[in-house]
Amino acid sequence: MTIHRKVFQCLLAALPLALSFSVWSAPERSELDRLAAESQTQVVNWRRHFHSNPELSNREFETAKYLQAALRDMDIEVVESGIAHTGVVGLLEGGQPGPLVAIRADMDGLPVTEQTGLDFASVVTSEYQGKDVGVMHACGHDTHMAMALGAARVLSAIRDELPGSVLFIFQPAEEGAPLGEEGGAELMLKEGLFERHKPEVIFGMHVGLNMPAGQMAVRGGPIMAAVDYLLIDVNGVQTHGARPWGGVDPIVASAQVILGLQTIASRQLNLTKVPYIITIGKIDAGVRNNIIPDKVEMHGTIRSFDLEMQDDIHARIKRTAENIAASSGATADVTITKQYPATVNDPDLTAQMLPTLARVSGERPLVTPDLVTGAEDFSFFAREVPGLYVFLSNIAPGETLAGSPSNHSPFFDMHEPSMEIGVRAFTHLVVDYLQQQQ
């Protein structure tokens, strides 16, 4: 049975519960939509401010100040600032007793020089790994913050009727902390965020995924991959390039290791369970064409969706590299660093909230996406409490999917009217969940 069928069966079981709350008069859902529509101009303004003023991971100082001011303008208490360096957390207390739920948005931009030609395009530059770089919100985090603030604006307007409270988590360094630093969701948790403010559930959203305009996508269970950093040092014996028999060639051994790693995916593990990827993306070796060096460094990435399979892949990589290197007289030292775990949507929460997302989606069909081999550190939050992570299309009506720039492209942009759908999705998810707990 596939994950999709399981979620569908859970959805059928959850429909009586969902239908029992199909009309909520305080406030009525139409009022949520009206408030979202009224907030759209402000949401666009927020998005354009963030887009014009991006900051790199763990350096989101001005972004944090702006977020705090926006929350306070809505009479939302800023209960955390400076957490995980620059993180901001706001707490909206509802007028009626009930659980705490969370909305999370990421804050950081990327070392990408923008080429969109937008009137509000970023011209910001900064330093990244010792180099001067352009900085751009090339992954939509500007829209994530704006939509979360839009949800805060709508929900603050109905706070007296809310049967519970809402935690707004603005998280830095989703794209990864700079070398030698900690950051992101993992550091927020390490610094005790959920010890002080632990929600029952957490909702997140990401724009992109190359879908038709205004469409949303969600699936229960794994939705985005775990990511691990792979470093393999192949050690040989240096010699003259004209006398390879005088040493041990680590370059040839490395080439054989790279090919051997691909047999893990093609021949050693069950591909019908979930996909996984082993990629070598960088090789450092040698200083001259006629010198066989004594060492090769290979840097790569591993993507997987299943915890047991993740550990098995690591063991097989180590065995494969070490044994192939040994067969030519070389040695291999394998270091694998776990970065982000797989992002897993809680199946029960997904089934519970699917009717909400389908209602918000309206005429646009809510789709089940393929597994996404990109990674997200929302996964750390979703390991602590049930999480639901949703995708929203960024492209404009009539734009072809084939020609749409992908996330991390210098041409990446957001069709701003679709942000209203994102605000509605956040607010309806919160209101429906809180109401269903009564």
How far apart, in Å, are the Cα atoms of 32 and each of 26, 91, 125, 173, 375? 10, 19, 39, 31, 32
Token look-up 């704006």 returns: 146
Verify whether residue 433 is a known catalytic residue.
no
Please tell me the CATH code under which domain 226-340 is placed: 3.30.70.360
Beta-carbon contacts of residue 370 (< 8 Å; ≥ 6 apart): none
> What DSSP designation does 393 have?
-
Same fold for the pair 3-224+342-436 and 226-340: no
pLDDT tens by residue, the chain, 438 residues: 333 444 444 444 444 433 333 445 445 789 999 999 999 999 999 999 999 999 999 999 999 999 999 999 999 999 999 999 999 999 999 999 999 999 999 999 999 999 999 999 999 999 998 999 999 999 999 999 999 999 999 999 999 999 999 999 999 999 999 989 999 999 999 999 999 999 999 999 999 978 888 999 999 999 999 999 999 999 999 999 999 999 999 999 999 999 999 999 889 988 788 889 999 999 999 999 999 999 999 999 999 999 888 999 999 999 999 999 999 999 999 999 999 999 999 999 999 999 999 999 988 889 999 999 999 999 999 999 999 999 999 999 988 778 789 999 999 999 999 999 999 999 999 999 999 998
Hey, where are the domains in the chain? 3-224+342-436, 226-340
Token look-up 């630093």 returns: 181
261 vs 318: CA distance, rounded Å? 10
Classified as helix, coil or strand, 15 is: helix
Per residue in 262-281, is it b (16+ CB within 10 Å) or e — as a string? eebeeeebeeeebbbebebe
> Under a CB-based contact definition with an 8 Å cutoff, are residues 244 and 292 in contact?
yes
108 vs 181: CA distance, rounded Å? 15
CATH number for domain 3-224+342-436, candidates 3.40.630.10, 3.20.20.210, 3.30.420.40, 2.40.10.340: 3.40.630.10
The pTM of the whole model exceeds 0.75 = yes
Q: What angle do CA 328, 334, 336 make, to 5 degrees?
A: 155
Helices 29-52 and 61-73 pack at an angle, to 10 degrees, of 150
Verify whether residue 308 is a known catalytic residue.
no
Going by C-alpha positions, the residue among 191, 225, 220 that lies closest to residue 387 is: 220
Please pick, among 60, 114, 322, 340, the residue that the annotation labels catalytic: 340
> What DSSP designation does 358 have?
H
What is the token pair recorded at 387?
A: 């999480």
- Phi and psi, residue 12, nearest 5°: -60, -40
